[in-house]
A = this chain, B = another copy of it.
Amino acid sequence: MSDTGPAGRPTVMVCITCRATDLGAASEEAPRPGNALADATLLAAAGTDGIAVLRVRCLGNCSRGPSAAIRCENTWTYIFGGLDPQRDGPSLIMGAQLLAQATDGIMPWRGRPESLKRGLIARIPPLNFREDPS
């Protein structure tokens, strides 16, 4: 399938300032896992058509990193945490593809990589969102 679906061009934003949360004092000096995740996501995006990957500092999810966000032009934006630089570059690209194909602007649960299910931090409506009834 094309990577630029009804929802417009997908963008994956990877937080490059995220530190490992399990290294204690050593984490200040250690290589940033967020940077490794950004590299892995860029690599996974290389075989796709039209998925942008951006390095961001920072997404503010510091206590539950590594973090990344996914959005298309007219969709909700999804923020994920607890990602694994060794595994989740392809997961983020798969999530971006799912969102780009969505006709309702919502990333489907079905088919979503496991880390994008249990790692959901928050989601934000698109700019053209109209409020839900109370």
Is the pair A55, B124 in contact by a Cβ cutoff of 8 Å?
no
Identical copies of this chain, number: 2
Provide the bound-state CA to CA distance between A57 and B54, in Å. Answer: 28
Contacts of A13 in B (CB 8 A): 124-125, 129
Whether A55 and B131, one on each chain, are in contact in the complex, defined by CB atoms closer than 8 angstroms, is yes
Q: How large is the interface on A (under 10, 10 to 19, 20 to 34, 35 or more residues)?
A: 20 to 34
Cβ contacts A102-133/B at 8 Å (1 or 0 each):
00000000000000000011111101011111
Across-interface contacts of A58 in B (CB, < 8 A) = 123
Asked if A129 contacts B77 (CB within 8 A), the reply is no
- Tell me the nearest residue of chain B to A130, going by C-beta: B54
List CB contacts (< 8 Å) of A67-90 with chain B: 67, 69, 71, 77-79
